[in-house]
Amino acid sequence: MQLIRFRVDLSPRCSLGPGKIALLEAIAEQGSLTRAAAKLGMSYRYAWLLVEDLRLAFTEPVTRATVGGRKGGGVELTKFGTSLVKRYHLATRRIDAIGRGTFGPLLRKTVVRPAAAKGAARRRVRSIKRAA
């Protein structure tokens, strides 16, 4: 289990985080923005906006449209896009190792709750905030 999730802000208009990286990985695996979005449970429009954000953020393209073939066109990662994913995962491993060293002793002191209980706790907090 990944202990720390992080986002990198390379400039005011350029950020990379787990969502964009997951989308790039799904594109590489699926060869299609439509299928990548469906795999991640996001709308095509939202996926397109994330890719467009990356396109506008860098001087090199992150994805490339493909044309033709049996199923028509698709999309694939460029070398630069593949490099972004690799660099993010390298940083993730390093940051996670530091986090485990720092917070590892606290892991034994956490209470494991079922997923349904987590949602119920969030709803209670929201209802308390509304009542205040």
pLDDT in tens, 29-80: 999 999 999 999 999 999 999 999 999 999 999 999 988 666 667 999 999 9
Residue 53 maps to a domain: yes
Per-residue pLDDT at 118 exceeds 70: no
Residue 86 maps to a domain: yes
Would the pTM of this model clear 0.85, i.e. be above it? no
Cα dihedral value 66, 67, 69, 73, nearest 10: 70
State the residue range of the domain holding 100.
8-131
Per-residue CA distances from 30 to 40, 73, 90, 91 (Å):
11, 12, 23, 24
The count of domains in the chain is 1
Residue 92 maps to a domain: yes
Residue 1 maps to a domain: no
Residue 20 maps to a domain: yes
Specify the CATH number for the domain of residue 99. Answer: 1.10.10.10
Per-residue pLDDT at 24 exceeds 80: yes
Residue 87 maps to a domain: yes
Residue 3 maps to a domain: no
Residue 93 maps to a domain: yes
